[in-house]
Amino acid sequence: MPIIIIWALLTIFGLLAIYSVSIYESFTLTVSLIAKWAMKWDPSNYFYFFRQLRNVGMALIMAGLIYYVPIKFFQKERNMTIIAIILMALQLAVFIPGIGVTLNGARGWINVPLLPSIQPAEFFKLGYVLFLGSWLLRKRNTMNDKKFFTSFIVLNAILFFIFLLIPDLGTVMILGIVWLIMCRYMWAKFKHILLILFGGLLAGIVVWAVAGTVSDRFSYIQKRFTYFISSSSDPQAKQIWWQNQEALLAIWGWWFRWKWYGKWLQKFWYIPEAQSDFVFSAFSEEIGFVGNLVILWLYFYLGYYFLSNLSKIRDDYKKVVGVWILSLVLVQVFVNIGVNTEILPNTGLTLPFISYWGTALMVNLMEIVILYKIIKDK
């Protein structure tokens, strides 16, 4: 049961983190809702914490449902085609006025009656792995054919372009890295991997160069990369990276000498989105170096445990899908912590199992359940 235990420990870490670091954000939000007559009770310091408890409950229900779905169901072409069409329709629904919800400049959520807002990109990432796992296994003998490889690149380029229109730079980055892992794991030639890397780098340069001129909506992408490469005198660019600078203060300022749980200061407005994108840095000031080592060890052990059992998995589909789902989780961990430590530009991605967010937590637990089923049925 190590996979389930790791999920439980990371989720507990997340609840403890959100209980503490979301105090200011919760109070500010509830005061705003009361002022707009959208909430009738008193301001609360624990708005996000109670919401996260609800999110954990909903995630457990979805995980229970996915547990009883046999993995062979996802291997059938007809089933995955239907799922792919549904997920693509949900993703395109974010562009429909009245359904799509805009948050921090990105139109990446949809309103569903009687349910919280849903982020289709999170479900799409899991569906992307399940669908391509089945498809590429059927086509593995033609994986290195020029015609097939070209069509494969064009298909993914279209998908990435849709996410750039949202704009959702984080999903593009995650899927791009997992795509490379997919290609290499499916025996793609090294020259094809280099071609993809070169094409991705060229596309990134083009997006960085023209994003701000196409629309103000995309200018944040340009400013994030510009300020990441070099310090900028542009006040808007500095505002984008202000939260990164405050995050570094929280991580390094108390790396070995932390203030203990609940007693840190950066959560009071200095780090925006402390409960989601920057929960790692926000919580670092309270748990310090030792606490961060425990969190990182749990992530690394998750990868080690699954990969160490990989040789015992006989079914090719389970093996391929398992590696790619594990890649989805660990790549997002690397990107989120890389953003928090200013190694990577700001992408708006959450930390799996720990950050506040309903859809992401739900999909993370679904991924853990699938990994558990793969190991259990090896």
Tokens 């593995």 — which residue? Answer: 140
Boundaries of every domain in the chain: 2-376
Task: Give the number of other Cβ atoms within 10 Å of residue 157's Cβ.
Answer: 12
- Exposed, middle or buried: residue 206 (CB in 10 Å: 0-12, 13-18, 19+)? exposed
Q: What are phi and psi of 106, to 5 degrees?
A: -110, 130
Interval 324-359: pLDDT, tens? 899 999 999 998 888 888 788 777 788 899 988 888
Tell which wins on pLDDT, 352 or 38: 352
Closest CA to 341 of 243, 256, 274, 260: 243
Q: Would you state the pLDDT for residue 218?
A: 61
Q: Is the peptide bond before 167 cis (omega within 30 degrees of 0)?
A: yes
Phi and psi torsions of 108, nearest 5°: -115, 15
Q: How confident is the model at residue 220 (pLDDT cuts 50, 70, 90)?
A: low
pLDDT tens, 121-167? 888 888 888 888 888 787 777 777 777 777 778 888 888 888 877 77
**Residue 239 has which token pair?**
């505002």
Residue type, 59: A
Question: 371 — phi, psi (to 5°)?
Answer: -60, -40
pLDDT at 100 over 80: no
Cα→Cα distances 25→38, 102, 266, Å: 17, 19, 12
3-state secondary structure of 56: helix
Write out the H or E segment, with its range, that includes residue 31.
helix 23-35
Sequence-separated (6 or more) residues with CB below 8 Å from residue 107: 94, 95, 100, 101, 166
Model confidence, pTM: 0.86
